Amino acid sequence: MILPRIAVDAMGGDEGVRVMIEGAALARRDHDKFNFLLVGDGKRIEAALEHHPNLRAASEILHCDDVVGGDELPSKAIRRAKTTSMGLAVNAVKTGAAGAAVSAGNTGALMAMSKLALRTMPGIDRPALAAIMPTLQAHDVVMLDLGANTGADARNLVQYAVMGAAYSRIVTGFDRPVVRLLNIGTEEIKGTEELRDAAAMLTAASAREDGGLALIFDGFVESDKINRGETHVVVTDGFSGNIALKAIEGSARFVTDLLKQAFTSSLRSKIGFLVSRPATELLKHHLDPNNHNGAVFLGLNGVVVKSHGSANAKGVAHAVAVTARLLENKLTERIAHDLAALGEGALTKNGHKNGASKAAPKDNEASA
């Protein structure tokens, strides 16, 4: 029996090979049904694998020493797709040498290479970058688009809702996740024409007698409610989504830094920290981005997962684990099924023709 394989760009990320290999090794402890294709400098990968014999036994190395720079423009990086560790990892998905790819490298370059190599699925105009974030409830919230595209019309937003719901069913377990559009208010008259048109399409599709979509559309949500846990999927354009994501991440860092300052300001504060340590450790765990690492490019003919460049080994392991779950639960097949259930008639509000875009994103896109 040939086990499914995940291609790992071992050269991506701030700390490179050591962290990527350690993260993959951690992930394989819980997902031992997968093999790995480790792409990058062969000597460095071999050295890192000496500390992880379990991963070594399940891995093949594809050597290359060309790396996409963190600040490299996508239009430049894409010209080296056939020689860089990132490009070769994505190409392994295209050729079937791997079922999915994981990289912690340049987001824009990864999106450009993935879109050009894998193309968008039939029925999807533009792919979207989706990530999971913590909430006050037991489940996480899926949010998209987070920067794959700077703008989105109503048709795009409806497609994002379908893809986000399919992803949410895998990570949350809800059969019909609650989906809302990010807006400046919850009233029906609020927001842009694109948002109001998308809401009308989703409302109509959700109310169909045949059951329509495998989701519950519940109107609009404001940014301060994203992490309340009342919504399973938040849909927006890439520009707004990227701003919202970074604002949430910045607020989380602010809270943790503020607590750190407060608990070290005096002897009395230090004693208070010892008393409240169980609660603060729980808060730290909840806000740690490594525990929610792994953004997914939805809408492509293949699975590509983006890890935070600053992720530690635990964060990389989480991204690899997300990748494994998406393969196990056949994400692309689920999206295709839901798009078929939606039907082209639900996407005619703006009169756009259906067709997958094959152009690579511009340099100002996919910049999360």
User: Residue 359's pLDDT band (boundaries 50, 70, 90)?
Assistant: very low
Query: Quick count: other Cβ atoms within 10 Å of Cβ 249?
Result: 14
What pLDDT does residue 234 have? 95
What pLDDT does residue 29 have? 85
What pLDDT does residue 355 have? 40
So where are the chain's domains?
Answer: 5-124+292-328, 128-291+332-347
Higher pLDDT: 368 or 112? It is 112
Answering whether pTM is above 0.75, one says yes
Asked whether residue 129 carries a pLDDT value surpassing 80, the answer given is: yes
What pLDDT does residue 357 have? 41
What pLDDT does residue 142 have? 93
CB of 123 within 8 A of CB of 158?
no
CATH 3.40.718.10 is held by the domain 5-124+292-328: yes
Q: Tokens standing for 229?
A: 């846990």
Higher pLDDT: 354 or 109? It is 109
* Fold match flag (5-124+292-328 vs 128-291+332-347): yes
Query: Where does 128-291+332-347 sit in CATH, by number?
Result: 3.40.718.10
Asked whether residue 361 carries a pLDDT value surpassing 80, the answer given is: no
- The closest alpha carbon to 110, from 315, 296, 273, belongs to 296
What pLDDT does residue 350 have? 43
* Residue range 316-358, pLDDT digits in tens: 998 999 899 899 899 999 999 888 887 766 665 543 444 444 4
Q: Tokens standing for 109?
A: 């370059």
CB of 164 within 8 A of CB of 198?
no
Burial class (CB in 10 A: 0-12, 13-18, 19+), 106: buried
Rounded to the nearest angstrom, the gap between the alpha carbon of residue 171 and the centroid of all alpha carbons in its chain is 12
Within 8 A by CB and 6+ apart from 319, the residues are: 23, 102, 104, 293, 294, 305, 306, 307, 308, 311
Alpha carbon distance 363, 361 (integer Å): 7
What pLDDT does residue 213 have? 76
Burial class (CB in 10 A: 0-12, 13-18, 19+), 152: buried
Question: Using alpha carbons only, how large is the chain's radius of gyration in Å?
Answer: 21
CB of 306 within 8 A of CB of 142?
no
3-state helix, strand, coil in the chain (%, to 5): 50, 15, 35
- The closest alpha carbon to 122, from 356, 359, 357, 358, belongs to 356
Within 8 A by CB and 6+ apart from 253, the residues are: none
Burial class (CB in 10 A: 0-12, 13-18, 19+), 108: buried
- The closest alpha carbon to 11, from 55, 61, 58, 52, belongs to 61
